[in-house]
Amino acid sequence: LAKTTQPISMDSYEGQEVNITCSHNNIATNDYITWYQQFPSQGPRFIIQGYKTKVTNEVASLFIPADRKSSTLSLPRVSLSDTAVYYCLVGPITSGTYKYIFGTGTRLKVLA
């Protein structure tokens, strides 16, 4: 699975848009990009997944440039409850990808 690099931590204020960028320079052609959110004392929760361009769901957007060497998770109008660790994972959605590799993630702190 491709190695990913994320900022260790970020601070934001309530109501702001937060963008967390993940670098994955050696992403393979059949790799997808998946983001998880983890609150203290809870398991990771799936946020969004994409392959290229832009993906949007009810909680976030995922922007992937043409070269796919990075991706940006965008959280619109964050609230205090968005304070969590966010993990970027890269790997193929095919047989053998069950070994999710979590880095240290990005600790997002939302301030009032």
Phi-psi label, residue 21: left if phi above 0, alpha if psi -120 to 50, beta otherwise? beta
Q: Which of 58, 66, 81, 98 binds other proteins (CB under 8 A)?
A: 98
In the numeric block, which tokens belong to residue 37?
């959110």
- Our finding on whether 13 is near other proteins (CB under 8 A) is no
Pattern 14-53, binding to other proteins, x per CB under 8 A? Answer: ------------------x-x-x----xxxxxx--x----
Residue 105 is a binding residue for other proteins (CB under 8 A): yes
Q: Look up residue 97 and give its two tokens.
A: 């990808």
